[in-house]
Amino acid sequence: MKRNLRRNKKGQIQGVDFALAMIIFMIMFAEVIVLSLTFLEPKYQNLEDKAFESRADQISDAFFASTGYPSTWEYDYNSQFYSFGLREIGSSDIDANKISWLNPLGLYHLSYESLKRNLSREDNIGFQFRVESLFDLDTQLSLAQPTGSIDIDASIGDCTTWSFVIAPNNTVIFTQSSKTDGVGHETINFGTGAGVLPSGYYTLVVFAKSPDGIFATDITNVIIGTETNYGLKLIVQEVSNNNGKAVIRTSNAGSLSSLGIISVFPYSIGNELLGNDSTVVNSPGTSEVFNLRIPTNGTCVVLLTGDSLAGFSRRAFQFPTMLSEEYRTIFGANSLPENKEIVKIERIVVIRECIFKAVLYVWAD
């Protein structure tokens, strides 16, 4: 009887040991599975990130490496093209005429949503595109009588500058090429006359060229009198054979007594009269096309001014166009999302022999 009890107890002990061993084994096996999944999960995540980075690279190629198809789509004002691309034909530069289509304030411009669909058939990407100068330029225009003043501040010193003051009638009332000091500052005084200044826009356009040959531009307005919204819009593009002329297409809401336009651009010292071109149309239609002189390379600013008895309006278009916060011309989403992984692609680009910084942000929408 005692032997049987011992055998039963021994069997019970062995059963308990086996059960405990199995429990420990299952716990350890579960730990291994959990750890394996923990290690594997980042790999799957990385694979997803790599796939999206590859997609972002494809999108960046459209902005920086492709001419698009057809390669001259920028001259099709019905905005019909099969694939998007900003590169200039036969060059690695960005085409100034194509990038004009990305200016959301331009007469003709691509919509963000339509370009999203062109770049991603699933419409599942978001992006923002900027083109800005490599250095900062800030200007101030003060109108007083008999003397006005221009203050220029560049973020680098010893810049060559070209200053233009354009009156309401689209004439240049002052221009001067000079140089900032070693810290980038310059003050210029100019005569304004003794009489009352006519009402309208007085626009200061300043081009600054760094010692390394890099351009920055700033546009400042002083308004005297009544400003009216005439819905002025314009787009500046080169004549296709690049002969130093621009085709400027404009539109307005109508009821204008005159429509004036002027282009200003840097000039060689002593040739101030060659630094601008202008024309005025009386009783214009709601759409007008102008041809103005511009440099065959470099940069320029075009001002469009509408006048009537009710007031006046003026719009500016920089060529090559800037896509920046300063000009309210960033292309794409107005702000970057806070809760998404963003791929940032930054390039130094050449447009019309001018050097700019381009930044493309891409994310999964």
Query: How does pLDDT run across 322-355, given as a tens digit for each residue?
Result: 999 988 999 999 899 988 889 999 999 999 999 9
Mean pLDDT of 287-299: 95
Mean pLDDT of 71-81: 80
Q: Which CATH class is domain 137-319?
A: mainly beta
Tally of CB atoms within 10 A around 209: 20
CA distance readout (Å), 188 to 23, 139, 147, 163: 88, 11, 10, 9
List the one residue out of 277, 287, 294, 279 whose CA is nearest residue 239. 294
| Average confidence score pLDDT of the chain | 87
Query: Contact 307/257 with Cβ under 8 angstroms?
Result: yes
So what's the pLDDT on residue 120?
Answer: 74
Residue 160 has pLDDT above 60, yes or no: yes
Q: What confidence tier does 36 reach under pLDDT thresholds 50, 70, 90? A: very low
Question: pTM score, two decimals?
Answer: 0.84
Query: Contact 316/93 with Cβ under 8 angstroms?
Result: no
Mean pLDDT of 62-69: 94
Name 3's Cβ contacts closer than 8 Å, sequence gap at least 6: none
So what's the pLDDT on residue 75?
Answer: 87
So what's the pLDDT on residue 58?
Answer: 85
What residue spans define the domains of the chain? Answer: 137-319
Residue 42 has pLDDT above 70, yes or no: no
Mean pLDDT of 300-320: 96
pLDDT in tens, 81-107: 788 999 999 999 999 999 999 999 999
